[in-house]
Amino acid sequence: MTTLLTLALILVAIAAGGWVLRFAGQKATGNAPAFRDMPFAVAFGYVLGACLLMFSVWYFFQPTTTKSGVPNAGVVFFRWAVQFFIISAIAAFLFRALGRMVGTRGTKKMFRQMPLTASFGVLVVILYALTAIFAAWLAPHGQEEVFAKVNVLPGGNAATGGDPLHPLGTDQIGRDLLSRLIYGAQNTVGIAFVTTCLAFFLGGSLGFLAATLQGWLDQVLSRAVDVLMAIPSLIFALLLMTIASAWAGSERWLLTVYMIIIIAVIDSTRVFRLARAVGLNIVVMDYIEAAKLRGEGLGYLIFREILPNATAPLLAEFGLRFCFVFLTIASLSFLGVGIQPPLADWGTMVRDSAQFINFAAFSPLTAALPLLAAGAIALLTVGVNFVVDWMLHRSSGLKE
Amino acid sequence: MSALVEIRDLWIEGRSDEDWSPIINGASLTLNKGEVLGLIGESGAGKSTLGLAAMGFTRDGVRISKGSVKFDGIGLIAASAAKKRELLGKRIAYVAQSAAASFNPAHKLIDQHTEGPVQHGVMSRAESMKDGIELYRRLRLPNPDQIGFRYPHQVSGGQLQRAMTAMAMSCRPDLIIFDEPTTALDVTTQIEVLASIRDIVEQFDTAAIYITHDLAVVAQMADRIKVLLKGDEVEEADTRTMLAQPKEEYTKSLWAVRAFERPQKPAVHTGATPVVSVQNVSAAYGKVPVLHDVSFDIHEGRTVAVVGESGSGKSTTARCITGLLPPTKGVIEFDGKALPANYKSRSKDQLRQAQMIYQMADTALNPRTSIGDIIGRPVQFYMGLTGKQKRRRVEELLDEIELPAAQYIDRLPSELSGGQKQRIGIARALAAEPKFIICDEVTSALDQLVAEGILKLLARLQDDLKLSYMFITHDLATVKAIADEVVVMKDGEVVEQGPKHDMFVPPHHPYTDLLLSSVPEMDPDWLTNLLNERGVDNIGDAAVDKMT
């Protein structure tokens, strides 16, 4: 009861604050339009935001250990998050400033109009791509190399259970986590990229074909896609993977190939839907009619007339689909049927150290172990989505 | 007495990319109570922006940089949001061009009608409903007691536009801004809407700003006319003076547009084989019949204008000729030989001989393809030219349509104006070196001056290249300008056909007569005279309905 009462009191106080803010603003600025036409809800929002900001600052500077010597995990994680946020923002800002100074006129203009979120997304995508390509040079150790020390904590500080040799620690059987994270970028991201491309090739070409020809072909393809989409995708993938692992036998690389095909087919159904819908909007245009009346063939219609006008929505979908494929692979690996050990994979890494999350209240550093790989997944997902949002915004032609 | 609306030295800017470019440069206007001011100009002249500014409103990405707007002594630019809310809808109302897009499709007309009065506390809901029905009656909507209980998609375009006017009247405003209210309507529908709007504005002594690009329309509606060009004020005078003695060159050129007319060509000697012959064609969409027994011939070097209102089957006839819609009965002959009904079974050469130019140049040109490629494709496809030869041919074609090749060949369609896009459409058709071109409402989306340029170009090309045109249009001024023969269609049937000079001289078929008499003329008394002559019930859709 007292919690509810406190909450109500705080809300009333903020509401009063909002009213005072608006009134004071009107008096102080001589009734400037910004304050004069300000709705009460907006004033309320300003005060609420200011209160939250003050609370965050206060919480950030709380001590990291309580008086009894137990670490204050909430504060520790909050500090990490805030520090990471600030560093990302600065990095994105610098990256954008750099893009505005170097490059061609076109790219300079692009960077000038780019919001900070998009430049952060682009930066993340570039960094991941570079990491994946140059993994063998960047990683200090091999992904399968086993060391004597197991379960070294991250941080590289011997006093807190770390080891300078392994800045992010080691796992249960003593493999260097930093190296495995870097190789994981290659395996997980690389395989996800190949899978997404395959899904787009399949779904896109069939979707455009259905949109252009219509009639019975469209019906057959669309109903087949409906059937595939009716089955929950992760469970369907699991089922097929079980069958595939029986086929693959001891050939582990074959299982990875099967996985790529299975996920690509399942995800191509979504691409098919989109490509067909976008294609249907384009085939009714007069320029398609003009091309048909000219006597153009199917290939020209699809690749020269329809595809160039469908790139914006398809690219945006590519970004989103990439995230889903990537998460599906991570989930399958987490469940043990995806990318096979000893290859490093983020999903598997999260699974292997998942139980350490229970130590969060006593030792935040231990709990950070599973969060490293999970964070790598989350960061890429967020980054790609920022880029996709930006591209959607640009293709919709909206300003501001 | 002070003026109702006073705009002084108003400057408005719009955001383009990163900086602000001017839209209105120092416009001033005064509007007295009960007066109607016509604002005319081409697209991009800033008429709508100025009209909206009279409400103290600007669209997103547009701002007022200088000047003052006063409504009944209240400065609208500095007014608070609350103050504006009090005025807009209650004392100032707005009627948009597309009523279909302005009504909420999910609510009944009368519910949307009562919203304003109830919100502003002018009337109770019941009072406003009663008043709405009364307004529907005065605007001569059919079945006024029930029509308000329909949804927007259940009434026709012209009726919707009148319902919108009724809605604007619901609070008895002092000022209504009409933004091209009849531009999207057929002539016979337009005349009805014009008559109703004029009546109701007079009855309630409402002041109005009437925005349009059609001079003949504004001549009927306005007491005074103001001409705008690219954000600058050209001149202003009362309607009669303006029509009789325009001062500025630009105004004179606007007035002269309708003077373009090709001389009638001598009759084709009997026995000549027509280029295209449509013989007893009937067609249907699914099971719905749309064409009944349509026949006409198009001879070499001649233009046949197909005239009719929307839904009369003009474009369907074109689809039958191109083979997109195989007819259910009848044949299409080309040079005396029957064409396969479906375009898929026609040979490449048959396809090449008949080309098409579309109404909306925006959707007729692939937005991702450069001008050079758009025109170059048929050159390569039909003529087999590649590389330098192809480029030279494209340059020739651009020359033909009076666009400098070096400047335009690498541009995208979005970098061209509406008239230029339409020229590219013409060049693409010419690239196939056809004998016959179908022009589907090619000028109806263009400003009058630009449209005249396109018509002159088409006429010149016809003389140079001996082309035959099938010219689909609903605009009789265009017919007068370019046609040799006229085919009048109604409900999928040919009502009347013959040489142009016969069509414009009585006696007519009653439907042709109605079409002809519904085209507004530059005479400010035209509408009044017509109404006196025929009576309110014998114009527009009502008259069309009587005929069937």
**Would you give the distance in Å from CA A36 to the centre of its chain?**
41
Q: Which amino acid is at B126?
A: A
Between CA B263 and CA B495 the distance in angstroms is 25
Nearest to A316 by CA among A213, A211, A387, A366: A387
B177–A contact, CB cutoff 8 A: no
- How many percent of chain B have pLDDT more than 70? 96
Mean pLDDT, residues B45-65 taken together = 84
**Would you give the distance in Å from CA B69 to the centre of its chain?**
31
The SS3 assignment for B519 reads coil
Residue contact B366–A309, C-beta within 8 A: yes
Residue contact A292–B343, C-beta within 8 A: yes
CATH of B276-516, one of 3.40.140.10, 3.65.10.10, 3.40.190.150, 3.40.50.300: 3.40.50.300
B16–A contact, CB cutoff 8 A: no
Decide: residue B386, CB within 10 A, 0-12 exposed, 13-18 middle, 19+ buried. Answer: exposed
The SS3 assignment for B7 reads strand
Of all residues in chain A, the one with the smallest CA distance to B374 is: A287
Contacts of A289 in chain B (CB under 8 A): 324, 356
Compute how many other C-beta atoms are within 10 angstroms of the C-beta atom of residue A123. 21
User: Which of the two residues, B242 and B269, has the higher pLDDT score?
Assistant: B242
Tokens at A398, concatenated: 């909206």
Compute how many other C-beta atoms are within 10 angstroms of the C-beta atom of residue B416. 18
Closest chain A C-alpha to B399 CA, distance in angstroms: 22
Least confident of A146-155, B151-160, B349-358: A146-155
Closest CB to A294: pick one of B80, B368, B378: B378
Closest chain A C-alpha to B380 CA, distance in angstroms: 11
What pLDDT is stored for residue A208 in this prediction?
94
What pLDDT is stored for residue A141 in this prediction?
81
First to last CA, chain A: 45
In terms of average pLDDT, the best of A172-176, A219-223, B25-29, B480-484 is A219-223
Chain segment A289-322, per-residue pLDDT in tens: 999 888 888 889 998 899 888 888 888 888 888 8
Q: Could you tell me the pLDDT band of residue A396, with boundaries at 50, 70 and 90?
A: low
**H helix count then E strand count, chain B:** 24, 20
Q: Could you tell me the pLDDT band of residue A168, with boundaries at 50, 70 and 90?
A: confident
CB pairs under 8 A between A and B: 56
Between CA B129 and CA A324 the distance in angstroms is 53
Between CA B225 and CA B237 the distance in angstroms is 6
What pLDDT is stored for residue A121 in this prediction?
92
Flag whether pLDDT at B59 surpasses 90: no
The answer to whether B195 and B138 are in contact (CB under 8 A) is no
Bridge partners (DSSP) listed for residue B486 = B305, B498
Tokens at B425, concatenated: 């459409």
Between CA A287 and CA B129 the distance in angstroms is 47
Compute how many other C-beta atoms are within 10 angstroms of the C-beta atom of residue A330. 27
Closest chain B C-alpha to A371 CA, distance in angstroms: 43
Residue contact B368–A309, C-beta within 8 A: yes
Give me Rg for the CA atoms of chain A.
26
Flag whether pLDDT at A400 surpasses 50: no
Flag whether pLDDT at A398 surpasses 80: no
Residue contact B322–A295, C-beta within 8 A: no
What pLDDT is stored for residue A391 in this prediction?
82
Mean pLDDT, residues B255-268 taken together = 72
Closest CB to A286: pick one of B363, B368, B378: B363
What are the residues of chain A with a beta carbon less than 8 Å away from any beta carbon of chain B? 33, 36-37, 112, 285-287, 289-290, 292-296, 304-305, 308-309, 399-400
Q: Could you tell me the pLDDT band of residue A6, with boundaries at 50, 70 and 90?
A: very high
Residue contact B82–A289, C-beta within 8 A: no
Residue contact B432–A294, C-beta within 8 A: yes
Between CA A339 and CA B211 the distance in angstroms is 67
In terms of average pLDDT, the best of A220-229, B132-141, B268-277 is A220-229
Nearest to A331 by CA among A356, A348, A352: A348
Residue contact B323–A293, C-beta within 8 A: yes
Of all residues in chain B, the one with the smallest CA distance to A295 is: B348
Residue contact B356–A287, C-beta within 8 A: no
Chain segment B102-113, per-residue pLDDT in tens: 889 899 999 999
Q: Most A CBs within 10 Å: which of B368, B369, B379, B441, as the mutation test of the A interface? A: B368
Of all residues in chain B, the one with the smallest CA distance to A35 is: B80
Closest chain A C-alpha to B81 CA, distance in angstroms: 6
Between CA A351 and CA A333 the distance in angstroms is 8
The SS3 assignment for A151 reads coil
Closest chain B C-alpha to A315 CA, distance in angstroms: 16
The answer to whether A163 and A149 are in contact (CB under 8 A) is yes
Of all residues in chain B, the one with the smallest CA distance to A284 is: B363
The residue ranges of every structural domain in chain A are: 2-60, 62-99, 177-395
Mean pLDDT, residues A247-253 taken together = 78
Tokens at A58, concatenated: 């206060």
What pLDDT is stored for residue B527 in this prediction?
83
Those residues whose C-beta lies under 8 Å from the C-beta of residue B124, and which sit 6 or more positions away, are B118
Bridge partners (DSSP) listed for residue B71 = B5, B74
Q: Most B CBs within 10 Å: which of A287, A289, A306, A311, as the mutation test of the B interface? A: A287
Closest chain A C-alpha to B272 CA, distance in angstroms: 28
Between CA B499 and CA A393 the distance in angstroms is 54
Which helix (H) or strand (E) segment holds residue B431: the answer is helix B418-431
B343–A contact, CB cutoff 8 A: yes
Nearest to A204 by CA among A140, A148, A278, A150: A278
The answer to whether B178 and B54 are in contact (CB under 8 A) is no
The SS3 assignment for B439 reads strand
Backbone angles phi, psi at B248, to 5 degrees: -80, 155
Mean pLDDT, residues A42-65 taken together = 91
Distances (CA, A) of B318 to A261, A274, A287, B287, B469: 48, 33, 16, 19, 11
Closest chain B C-alpha to A115 CA, distance in angstroms: 14
Compute how many other C-beta atoms are within 10 angstroms of the C-beta atom of residue B172. 16
B15–A contact, CB cutoff 8 A: yes
- Mean pLDDT rounded to a whole number for chain B: 85
Contacts of B76 in chain A (CB under 8 A): none
Closest chain A C-alpha to B408 CA, distance in angstroms: 19
Distances (CA, A) of B40 to A320, B46, B231, B354: 48, 9, 11, 38
Nearest to B128 by CA among B141, B110, B107: B110
**Would you give the distance in Å from CA A392 to the centre of its chain?**
16
Flag whether pLDDT at A8 surpasses 90: yes
Q: Which amino acid is at A322?
A: F
Q: Most B CBs within 10 Å: which of A100, A113, A294, as the mutation test of the B interface? A: A294
Of all residues in chain B, the one with the smallest CA distance to A283 is: B363
Strand pairing class (B329-334; B337-338): antiparallel
**Would you give the distance in Å from CA B454 to the centre of its chain?**
15
What pLDDT is stored for residue A210 in this prediction?
94
Bridge partners (DSSP) listed for residue B68 = B8
In terms of average pLDDT, the best of A370-374, B249-253, B530-534 is A370-374
The SS3 assignment for A314 reads helix
* Window 374-393 of B, Cβ < 8 Å to A: 377-378, 381-382
Compute how many other C-beta atoms are within 10 angstroms of the C-beta atom of residue B148. 23
The answer to whether B194 and B208 are in contact (CB under 8 A) is no
Closest chain B C-alpha to A110 CA, distance in angstroms: 12
Tokens at B114, concatenated: 């009562």
Bridge partners (DSSP) listed for residue A166 = A163
Of all residues in chain B, the one with the smallest CA distance to A285 is: B363
**Would you give the distance in Å from CA B439 to the centre of its chain?**
16
Residue contact A292–B368, C-beta within 8 A: no
Q: Locate CATH 3.40.50.300 in chain B.
A: 5-258, 276-516
Q: Where are the beta strands (DSSP E) in B286-412?
A: 288-298, 303-307, 329-334, 337-338, 354-357
Using the Cα atoms of residue B518, residue B522, residue B527 and residue B529 in order, give the sign of their dihedral. Answer: negative
The answer to whether B322 and A290 are in contact (CB under 8 A) is no
- Mean pLDDT rounded to a whole number for chain A: 86
Helix H, strand E, coil C: the string for B101-119 is HHCCCCCCHHHHHHHHHHH
User: Which of the two residues, B231 and A260, has the higher pLDDT score?
Assistant: A260
- The label of the residue with tokens 């999350």 reads A357
Closest CB to B356: pick one of A293, A295, A308: A293
Structural domain B5-258, CATH architecture: 3-Layer(aba) Sandwich (3.40)
Tokens at B442, concatenated: 């090619």
Flag whether pLDDT at B514 surpasses 70: yes
Distances (CA, A) of A100 to A97, A368, A395, B18: 5, 36, 21, 15
Closest chain A C-alpha to B361 CA, distance in angstroms: 9
Chain segment B399-421, per-residue pLDDT in tens: 888 888 888 888 888 888 888 89
Residue contact A289–B324, C-beta within 8 A: yes
Flag whether pLDDT at B467 surpasses 70: yes
CATH number of A177-395: 1.10.3720.10
Using the Cα atoms of residue B92, residue B98, residue B104 and residue B110 in order, give the sign of their dihedral. Answer: positive
Residue contact A287–B364, C-beta within 8 A: yes
